[in-house]
Amino acid sequence: MFSTLIFLHSLIRWVVLATLLYSLFRAYRGYTYNVVFIKADEAWRHWTATTTHIQLIIGILLYSKRDTVKAFLSGSGSRNHITEPLFFGIIHIALMLSAIVMVTIGSAMAKRKTVDKEKFKTILIWFGAALLLILIAIPWPFSPLAQRPYLRQF
């Protein structure tokens, strides 16, 4: 089951990034060119929030099982500099939770707006801020904090 969760996590992370980027593209286009907010825009807003929530559930399940998090919680990581246990124990989860909260708030606020341009603007601001946090929190292969490959080998 653990390997299945890791596979889903690896797959859905790219789905989250793709839906977020495409929603931002649609929001930018809609806001800039005064486009009418159509059902497709509503669907992308909804599915972006849904995929982030699915990723949250899988992430919490993996968080409780990870050796790096267990090492951080047990205090076996170095206290002098940022280590992988510290990154995954605090930084990664705090930034990702914040990003998911931003997507959720932005989605809910956009849903309640009555003016199309305001819907696009709300999505653009909240989803853009969430994307920034997600990009900071990703353990990129070149990161000095923690490294993970772009695609995991199974």
Where is 108: in which H helix or E strand? helix 92-112
Say whether pTM exceeds 0.75: yes
Most confident of 37-41, 56-60, 76-80: 37-41
Return the C-alpha torsion angle 130, 133, 135, 137, nearest 10: -130
pLDDT band at 32 (very low <50, low <70, confident <90, very high): very high
The tokens describing 143, both together, are: 């990161």
Tokens, residue 136: 């900071």
Region 24-28: mean pLDDT is: 98
The mean pLDDT of 121-136, rounded to a whole number, is 97
Mean pLDDT for 38-63 is 95
